[in-house]
A = this chain, B = another copy of it.
Amino acid sequence: MIDRLAVIGVGLIGGSLARALRAAGQVGEIVGCGRSREHLERALDLGVIDRFSTDPAEAVVGADLVFLATPLSAIRPTLARIKGHLRDQAIVTDGGSVKGSVVEDARVVFGRVPPRFVPGHPIAGTERSGVEASFPELYRQRRVILTPLPGTDPEALDRVRGLWELCGAEVSLMDVVHHDEILAATSHLPHLLAYGLVDALARMRENDEIFRYAAGGFRDFTRIASSSPVMWRDICVANRTAVGDMLQRFAVELNDLADTIQRGDGDRLLEIFARAKAARDRYVDGPNEVSAGADVPPNRSSSAS
């Protein structure tokens, strides 16, 4: 039970956590915080929060648990602002998509990462933003990664773990650097490919015609390019080493693929495509997959050549 929860950044991620904990009957009062009064009024109207402040220092007063769910570039100034206003036993956790930068933010602001600061990342989301997009089931059957440090208080870690489990999530622990590398591959790279593709097509002379003849498969493939540009700018900058590296490696792969195609090496192409199809069918659509939601019907969702 959390008596008072402060959510800094009441958008998709923060709003959904608030809704899920409320639905589970596990929270007394929820205090919201953000920059815009209008957004916060909306969160109040929707019953996501009970009251709000636009000042993080004020929002965290008396809170047992503080959840940071702003874009990554706002984490450091937020920590600086709440420093000195937290209760002694308050636990602080976050939902940022990159963990190295958040840990570094905490280190810079507090001199060291506070023992009761638990860095976290729910592997769940949609391409939509803001409190209106939030819903209590977002974390159900999704994975949440926590990246505790050697100095992290085990009791704080347990509390944060329990909180995510209340929302229906499956929690794993991971090393900070490893998290950022894995996510660069599975999440940041795909988003950049989608953004990059749509942008490249939009800049072509015949862009109108190009989008007109884009088929259903294109729609699924590029859905993630409708995600929040600010959030993705922050993720790329925060994880720039791993992401830059991953992109460069992938560009090499593409040149290799182009070469295989230009040579007309059908056998090699067949091998690559068959291996990829097998991996996807096995891991992503197969019985082993956990975190991918069941919202998208596996059949008939359109693709096309």
A residues at B contact (CB < 8 Å):
73, 97, 122-128, 135, 142-143, 145, 182-183, 185-202, 204, 206-207, 209-227, 229-237, 240-241, 243-245, 247-255, 257-259, 261-262, 264, 266, 269-270, 272-277, 279-281, 283-285, 288-293, 295-297, 299-305
22 sample A-B contacts, Cβ–Cβ < 8 Å, listed by A number = A125-B215, A125-B304, A126-B304, A183-B305, A186-B218, A187-B214, A193-B197, A195-B276, A196-B276, A197-B250, A214-B283, A219-B296, A220-B220, A220-B223, A225-B280, A229-B274, A232-B269, A235-B305, A247-B261, A251-B254, A251-B255, A293-B300
Q: How many Å lie between the Cα of A126 and that of B214 in the bound state?
A: 13
- Taking each of A142, A186, A248, A293, which has the highest tally of chain B beta carbons within 10 Å of its own beta carbon? A186
Q: A126-B301, A187-B305, A272-B199 are in contact. Are A277 and B217 (CB under 8 A)?
A: no
- CB proximity of A277 to chain B, nearest CB, Å: 5
CA distance A64 to B245 in the complex (A): 57
Report which residue of A128, A289, A291 has the largest number of chain B beta carbons within 10 angstroms of its beta carbon. A291
The answer for the CA separation of A276 and B305 in the assembled complex, in Å, is 22
**Copies of the chain in the assembly:** 2
Say whether A304 contacts B123, CB under 8 Å.
yes
B210 and A186 form a contact (CB under 8 A)? yes
Q: Do most interface residues of chain A lie in helix, strand or loop, or is the interface mixed?
A: helix
The 7 closest A-B pairs by CB, nearest first: A211-B283, A229-B273, A125-B304, A202-B279, A247-B258, A97-B305, A198-B276
| Cβ 8 A contact of A281, one of B226, B274, B291 | B226
A217 to chain B, nearest CB (A): 5
Partner of A253, one of B196, B243, B245: B196
Residue on B nearest A181 in the bound complex, by CB: B206
Partner of A225, one of B143, B253, B262, B277: B277
Asked if A304 contacts B218 (CB within 8 A), the reply is: no
Contact A302–B293 (Cβ < 8 Å): yes
Q: Whose C-beta in chain B lies nearest to the C-beta of A215?
A: B123
Q: Are B305 and A295 in contact (CB under 8 A)?
A: no
Whether A236 lies near B193 (C-beta < 8 A) is no
Q: State A270–B237 Cα separation when bound (angstroms).
A: 11
Kindly list chain B residues whose C-beta atoms are within 8 Å of the C-beta of A269: 232-233, 236-237
Assess the B215–A279 pair: CB atoms within 8 A: no
**B215 lies within 8 A of A124 (CB):** yes
* Contact in complex: A186, B200 (CB < 8 Å): no
Select from chain B the residue with minimum beta-carbon distance to A135. B300
